[in-house]
Amino acid sequence: MRLRPNSSERGFTLIEMVVVISLILVLLSIALPMYQRSIVRTKEARLHYDVMTLNKCIQEYSQTKRKAPQSLDELVEAGYLKFIPQDITGRADSWQTEQEESEKAWDPNQPGIAWVHSGSNETSTEGTPYSSWTH
């Protein structure tokens, strides 16, 4: 009865190590793209929510004040938002605002922001430009 194995019987063989490392690499090659897609979809969901929230705040501000805001900062100053959220670009200053048409403006002498959309020129996973998302 042996209590200590020979040195040739200890550890893993090179082939066993290569097989284990290969399996790990195969699993990583499957998991990593799925993880990256989920990150992009999370950012897109956040963008949908932020665009909807910004446009809703613009409408509420306009209805309450009977004039459209002149900038997004007015929404923060008036308490409709705590802060301007980041666009999908990762910056809060990249939002693109669309002005009211003077004929349809709350105050024709001072048209303000009608709605907002992303300032990114990238394309979503749905195949549409982020800048076309308005709500």
Q: What is the mean pLDDT of each run of 10 residues along the chain (135 residues)?
A: 58 90 94 92 93 94 92 93 92 90 78 90 88 76
Assess if residue 20 is contained within a domain.
Answer: no
Q: What is the number of structural domains in the chain?
A: 1
Assess if residue 3 is contained within a domain.
Answer: no
Torsion of CA 107, 92, 39, 129, to 10 degrees: 50
In the structure encoding, which two tokens stand for residue 50, read together? 């932020």
Assess if residue 60 is contained within a domain.
Answer: yes
Q: Would you state the pLDDT for residue 37?
A: 92
Assess if residue 5 is contained within a domain.
Answer: no
Assess if residue 18 is contained within a domain.
Answer: no
Task: Tell me what percent of the chain is helix, strand and coil, each rounded to the nearest 5.
Answer: 45, 10, 45
Q: Would you state the pLDDT for residue 5?
A: 56
Domain of 75? 47-132
Task: Read off the pTM.
Answer: 0.76
Q: Would you state the pLDDT for residue 133?
A: 76
Q: Would you state the pLDDT for residue 2?
A: 52
Q: Would you state the pLDDT for residue 1?
A: 54
Assess if residue 90 is contained within a domain.
Answer: yes
Q: Residue 98: phi, psi to the nearest 5?
A: -115, 130
Assess if residue 29 is contained within a domain.
Answer: no
Assess if residue 30 is contained within a domain.
Answer: no
In the structure encoding, which two tokens stand for residue 69, read together? 């805001």
